[in-house]
Structure 1
Amino acid sequence: MPSANKLSKREEKWVEDLEYLREQYEALHPVPFRYVSEEEFDFQLEQLKKKISKLSDNDMSFEIKKIIAGFCDTHTVANGPASVYERVFPFDVIVLGEKVYLYLYDKDYSELLEPYFLREIVAVNGVDIGYIRQKASELYYPTNFWFNKEVLSYSFYLPAFMDWVGCDHQEGYTFHILNEDDQVELVELPAVPVDGITYDCYPKDFVLPNSFLNPDANRAEYIEDERGGYVYILFSYMETGDMKAYEDFFSTATELLKEHPGCKLVIDLRKNSGGHSNVQSFAHQKALEWRELPIEKTYILTGGFMMSAAIDLRTVFKEGLDGIAVGEPTGQFFGTFGNSKDPRQVIYLPNSQISVFIADMWWPGLHPEQYTRNENSIPYEWQNTVLPDVYVSLDAKDFRQGRDSILEWVLEH
């Protein structure tokens, strides 16, 4: 790196931020160099220092996020400054199977976006979608394919991300979208101020699958069709450790199981990214109660968004109810770094004000003795996911018809 007296004021500030990050990360993380060595971390920071003059401030924030993500610790993450989020695309995306589709959009852009709802996006400004997805995976959990499928939308809606990827080689943003005949249409879509933008609109003739309605809440209901009835439990929220928040939810589920003896039980954990670990003890008690009820079979729906305490929750229901895990692999393995503090441990880089959340503990998960560990009693790098018993992915054809492919498999078996 050039000597300090040759650096611009801007470069000096970024160097100060990187050195502060280096110091604080090693001081605060319980096992800072788990997968990436100290030497490699230092090398990455030095290489980034050399590129400061060639990168925008937003690009610098993505580079920092990439370095932190390389530690493969989903509880240690860097978030960009406010400037990264000032402009957005007025639509979301969803990955169905292995393809990326335009999904929910802001109501003010309905006329523009409705014709492209659930149409496949194959490139942006000529940059292939595969490359875009690879760059997005570098920002979250580079070694977990399934997690990156679920969080692609966290990056995709940001023009700043597209610029970092390389889409800024031309003005504006032209999306390459396939029509019904799989022919490419070039569609210019706007980047707009973030204020007031929501992602909750879709065509009036489209029926959103029940499991996708209000997916961030907890609910229990009995559903019946020509194939029979089942108790459906959507368990997504674990953000509070106050058990009162879960009592009504679990009580409702218990009453439904008693009212409909012999039905299937479907526990949907696909949108559960974890939370307070003490919830699993409460869930374990309920699983033991439900075990005494006449349930035909228990199915646990899993996917790449599941991590942290949600992995233990899967274990609780699978073991307690002899459940069958159906869906896709999870976003994390049984053991994980985590947070023992509330609020979470966080630092702010002094100049850019980039926030970096840093894990402060190691959580071995339930039954750690069952799993292969390295000499530090931590899973190997390849131990990055928990596999389902039955592999089923969301299918675009099913989804367009308002069906959840994973739930459909359960109802047919």
Structure 2
Amino acid sequence: MSRPSFSPVFVLFRASLCALSALPVASSAADASPATIDWVADATFLRERLPGLHPNLYHTLGAEAFARKLDAFIADRRSSEAERVLQLAQIVAAIGEGHTRLTLPLAPQARLFPTHAPTEPANVTQFTQFPLRLESTSDGYVVAAATDQMKVALGSVLVAIDARPVDDVVKRLGSLVHHDNAAQRRYLMASFLVVPEILHARGITGAVDRATWTFRDRRGKRLSLPIQALPSSQELNWNNLPNSSNALRNRNTDRDIWFENFPAADAIYVRLRQIADDRSSGERFSDFSNRLLTAINHGPQQRLIIDLRGNSGGNSSLVWPLVTGLVRSEKLTRPGALYVIVDGGTFSAAVDLVADLEKATPAIIVGERTGGSPNSYGDSRRLQLPSSGLTVRVSTRYTQGSHGEDRRNTVKPQIDAPLTQTDFLDGSDSALAAIVQRSSMIALPNGRWRGTVAFRYLDAQVDARIQDGGSGLAGWITMPEVGVAETQLDGLHFADTWLHAELKLERSTSRIELLQAREHLTGWIEYQGRPYPMVLYRVNADASD
């Protein structure tokens, strides 16, 4: 999950140290049984080594607060081994960013917290797993996969665990989850919820090896199931919802990077699960980028959709040929031609790509808030604790993916379209549906419009009025956050689904290009030679309000 530092002037030519960041920091971990683990030695090791590795360890949690947490950990002689592991995870999570984290002792077969570099086995008892997998949606945590015994719960929303409401469960687990922001914490919580040791240590379940889970189906009917914990090393036979498996975002699960035609939006749909060479085919990311750019520039499709949902990163130095190619594509500078789909799993190098596209193209961001920050700490190194053998991943640099003054801890989509329970059950996709809505069905632009323009890293509110004045269209626009009081638009005309206008400012004239589709206007406003994406929604069809 590499995040290289760079000067913002050279947006398109950043380099990554991802390969170097995969190298472990040696600690000579000793062979130890659970009964002989020296937790004091591990805590002391963290106290001594973390400040020298992390560029700003106390950016969120002050030095004194960090020291107090380690002191309390050392003083605790009564907690179980699992509780000690989770206490360390909580201390590391309190540092306050997504790259710095303790890797829980789960077998790789569980695939709960995938990493770009392997983790050495720890000297503690391996955590177990409950035989189901959850995904965060706008309706709650949906059962996305389950074993044969649990498949009756597929597609249902989690309501409670051992009679504790899910909101209470999430609150109790919150401090364990490493995160850049709330979106990433919510996304990762789906994995924390299915680890029995976590639930038991936090007082949610009465036993560490079993619990009663309660779900709600789409009709509102509740179902309670007793679920037994299984070893995390056990290979499980997973069942998925057939419709969900056929959804475009879930196809080609053996491929990390792929694209295909998406006729519903007259687009090419690109799925990037990692910023990396494809592991199954061996195709290099640079070759993939060239193949994609050739397809969009010479093919009949009018739009490009890049899906980065669940993309935890990779090597951000690989993306600059793709970004430069997208910037140079005349087809993709048209209003509503380039869309990027993101969610709480979009992190690290994937957010770097989003930040590049924000700065250099009029891309429309769709979906949910990203799990990563455009400016954040990254390039994590592995630090193995000397006695327990647990691995802590530690950020080693601050990376600036956006403008230096950008204080956002997430990238907010202009078009909010989170996945829903219905998406899993029916195989639909709210984000793609939102894009399709903006790609068809012409409607006259007369009326009142509201929305946003993504001006650098600021979502500025837009209010516009358009009316037919008899001799042609007339329109006015207001953007208070960027200092534009209500101003009449010049040269406003509507032709072949496109709305064209000019906005005269004090020192310059900005061009506005918007695509009309149904009750939406999607496009950009040009300022100082750079197009900034604009998304507007019709308030009502009568301009007289």
Indicate the TM-score class for this superposition, using the shorter chain for normalisation: 0.7 to 0.9
What secondary structure does 2:76 align onto? helix
**Higher helix fraction (1 or 2):** 1
What residue in structure 2 maps to residue 269 of structure 1? 308
Tell me the TM-score normalised to structure 2 length. Answer: 0.65
What secondary structure does 1:167 align onto? coil
The 1:293–1:98 alpha-carbon spacing in structure 2 relative to 1, beyond 3 Å, is closer
What residue in structure 1 maps to residue 246 of structure 2? 208
User: CA shift at 1:141, angstroms?
Assistant: 3.5
Of 415, 428, 431, the match for 1:406: 431
Of 341, 346, 353, the match for 2:389: 353
For the pair 1:94 / 2:135, whether they are aligned, the reply is yes
User: CA shift at 1:36, angstroms?
Assistant: 0.7
User: CA shift at 1:68, angstroms?
Assistant: 0.8
What residue in structure 1 maps to residue 491 of structure 2? none
What residue in structure 1 maps to residue 92 of structure 2? 68
Aligned residues: 383
Letter of the aligned partner of 1:88 in structure 2?
Answer: Q
Letter of the aligned partner of 2:257 in structure 1?
Answer: N
Distance in 1 of aligned mates of 2:311 and 2:243: 29
What residue in structure 2 maps to residue 316 of structure 1? 356
What residue in structure 2 maps to residue 194 of structure 1? 232
Does the 8 Å CA contact 2:145/2:241 hold for their aligned counterparts?
no
Distance in 1 of aligned mates of 2:187 and 2:125: 21
Distance in 2 of aligned mates of 1:351 and 1:119: 42
Distance in 1 of aligned mates of 2:260 and 2:217: 37
Letter of the aligned partner of 1:76 in structure 2?
Answer: T
**Higher strand fraction (1 or 2):** 2
User: CA shift at 1:204, angstroms?
Assistant: 4.6
For the pair 1:365 / 2:401, whether they are aligned, the reply is yes
User: CA shift at 1:258, angstroms?
Assistant: 3.4
What residue in structure 1 maps to residue 258 of structure 2? 219
What are the residue-to-residue correspondences of 1:44-59 with 2, within 5 Å?
44-53=69-78, 55-59=79-83
What residue in structure 1 maps to residue 68 of structure 2? 43
What are the residue-to-residue correspondences of 1:112-123 with 2, within 5 Å?
112-123=149-160
Distance in 1 of aligned mates of 2:35 and 2:231: 26
User: CA shift at 1:10, angstroms?
Assistant: 5.7
Query: Unaligned stretches of 5+ in structure 2?
Result: 1-33, 106-121, 439-545
Distance in 2 of aligned mates of 1:124 and 1:149: 17
What secondary structure does 1:385 align onto? coil
For the pair 1:144 / 2:181, whether they are aligned, the reply is yes
Distance in 1 of aligned mates of 2:126 and 2:430: 33
User: CA shift at 1:11, angstroms?
Assistant: 8.8
Query: Unaligned stretches of 5+ in structure 1?
Result: 1-8, 372-378
What are the residue-to-residue correspondences of 1:125-144 with 2, within 5 Å?
125-141=162-178, 144=181
What secondary structure does 1:169 align onto? coil
What residue in structure 1 maps to residue 494 of structure 2? none
The 1:76–1:26 alpha-carbon spacing in structure 2 relative to 1, beyond 3 Å, is same
Letter of the aligned partner of 2:42 in structure 1?
Answer: D
Does the 8 Å CA contact 2:183/2:370 hold for their aligned counterparts?
yes
Distance in 2 of aligned mates of 1:149 and 1:167: 18
User: CA-atom RMSD, angstroms?
Assistant: 2.7
Larger radius of gyration, structure 1 or 2? 2
The 1:46–1:240 alpha-carbon spacing in structure 2 relative to 1, beyond 3 Å, is farther
Distance in 1 of aligned mates of 2:257 and 2:412: 24
What secondary structure does 1:138 align onto? helix
Moved more, 211-220 or 357-366: 211-220
User: CA shift at 1:282, angstroms?
Assistant: 2.1
Does the 8 Å CA contact 1:283/1:313 hold for their aligned counterparts?
no
The 1:39–1:121 alpha-carbon spacing in structure 2 relative to 1, beyond 3 Å, is same
Does the 8 Å CA contact 1:87/1:191 hold for their aligned counterparts?
yes
Distance in 1 of aligned mates of 2:220 and 2:135: 18
Tell me the TM-score normalised to structure 1 length. Answer: 0.84
Q: Please list the CA deviations of residues 48-87 of structure 1 after superposition, one character each: whole Å capped at 9, or x if unmatched.
A: 233331x211111111111111111222111133556442
Does the 8 Å CA contact 1:95/1:101 hold for their aligned counterparts?
yes
User: CA shift at 1:40, angstroms?
Assistant: 0.2
Q: Please list the CA deviations of residues 186-219 of structure 1 after superposition, one character each: whole Å capped at 9, or x if unmatched.
A: 2101211223424742245665311122467111
User: CA shift at 1:403, angstroms?
Assistant: 0.4
Does the 8 Å CA contact 1:92/1:199 hold for their aligned counterparts?
no
